[in-house]
Structure 1
Amino acid sequence: MDLKEIQNLIKFVAKSGASEVKLEMDDVKITIRTGADDEKAPTTFLQQMPAMQMAPAAPAAPAAPVAEVAAPAAPAAPAEDNSKYITIKSPIIGTFYRKPAPDKPMFVEVGKTIGEGDVLCVIEAMKLFNEIESEVSGTIVKILVDDSSPVEFDQPLFLVDPS
């Protein structure tokens, strides 16, 4: 596991809202605590297992939390906008897709007007593709998740302006 993969994992955990994630592989053990309860920056622990040749992974640990300090500040800005917008959240854990197939167009784009029952995205869970339909009418203001990204239960996916 290289530095970029560790940084991406830290960013994903910070966005997901999970308070703690532990990952153990053959040669690396990683624990990421977001501190959601304490409202402080995420804490990352990287422990290298004995008899391993991943010397570059040890210096990567100090760089990872520094890169992540800015990430908790980014979700604070949309929090102000949430008061006038409706947040559509993920009903399941899985992989978020904005298109029904790689060669098909996106279900929705920012600025598109949607109605109740319109398909917004697909979430793949255990090899099943679940269409996520809108429960509200309005205009898509922001798409909060990148295509082909993992999502957690109750994770915000879209901001909709109901007016």
Structure 2
Amino acid sequence: MPVTRRNRKSEEEKPPNSTIDLDKIKELIKLMEDHELTAFELEDAGFKVRLEKGGSQEQVLAPIAAPEPAAGATSEKIVAEDTEQIKSPMVGTFYKSPTPDADAFVKVGDAVDEGTVVCIIEAMKVMNQIKAEKSGVIQRILVDDASPVEFGQGLFVIA
């Protein structure tokens, strides 16, 4: 009896027929803009989409080994009346520089303009640039590098 080779894939073995819903992608883009995300990736039932904000093609990598934060490190410090805090807009991990061996985005005493990148917060493997909301001088850094931060937690004191 001759042996023949056939494609025996049944319909249920084939990946689901995924269609791109343009309205859903528009919603994802709006979500990215509302939360100032620089990249977003979603995978569901065989459908995968990755969105990245345009601009510079520079890729920011997270440090490989994150040291434990110093005992007692906290942002619950007294802030003078003529200063404001730059606060974390999300839960994540605070990084003062784009890579472990790079210089910090800002140091105490640095003058910053509104929109200047002051740090990165990694949330769900996405590096989010945090920008100064007003011009001023960095008075104090309230968080240690590579330490976890909460939503609304003070990161910097600016005057």
Bin the TM-score by the shorter chain: 0.5 to 0.7
Q: Cα deviations across residues 46-75 of structure 1 (Å, max 9, x unaligned)?
A: xxxxxxxxxxxxxxxxxxxxxxxxxxxxx4
State the shift of 1:82 in Å.
Answer: 3.1
In the alignment, structure 1 residue 138 sits paired with structure 2 residue 136: yes
Q: Which residue is equivalent to 1:87?
A: 85
- Structure number with greater CO (CA < 8 Å, separation at least 6) is 2
How far is the alpha carbon of 1:83 from its aligned partner? 1.2
What are the ranges of 5 or more consecutive residues in structure 1 without an aligned counterpart? 17-74
* 2:89 corresponds to 1:98: no
Structure 2 gaps, min length 5: 1-67
1:3-14 to 2 correspondence within 5 Å?
8=71, 11=72
Higher helix share: 1
Does 2:140 match 1:148?
no
CA separation in 1, counterparts of 2:98 and 2:116? 13
Contact 1:82–1:159 (CA under 8 A) maintained in structure 2: no
Which residue matches 1:114? 112
Alignment of 1:61-80 (within 5 A): 75=76, 78-79=77-78
Structure 1 CA distance, aligned partners of 2:101 and 2:149? 22
Could you say what the CA RMSD is over the residues aligned between the two structures, in angstroms?
2.0
Check the 8 A contact 1:138/1:160 in 2, yes or no. yes
Whichever residue aligns with residue 152 of structure 1, its letter is E
TM-score by length of 2: 0.53
Equivalent residue number for residue 26 of structure 2: none
Output aligned runs, 1:23-62, within 5 Å: none
Determine which structure has more spread, i.e. the larger CA radius of gyration. Answer: 2
1:97-139, Cα deviation, whole Å (9 max, x unpaired): 0000112110000000000110000000000000000110000
Amino acid in structure 1 at the alignment position of 2:130: I
- Number of the residue aligned with 1:158: 156
Give % identity: 49
Aligned to 2:41: none
Equivalent of residue 123 in structure 2, options 110, 125, 128: 125
- After TM superposition, the runs of 4+ consecutive aligned structure 1 residues lying more than 4 A away are none
CA distance in structure 2 between the partners assigned to 1:115 and 1:122 by the alignment:
17
Whole-Å separation in 1 of the counterparts to 2:93 and 2:86: 16
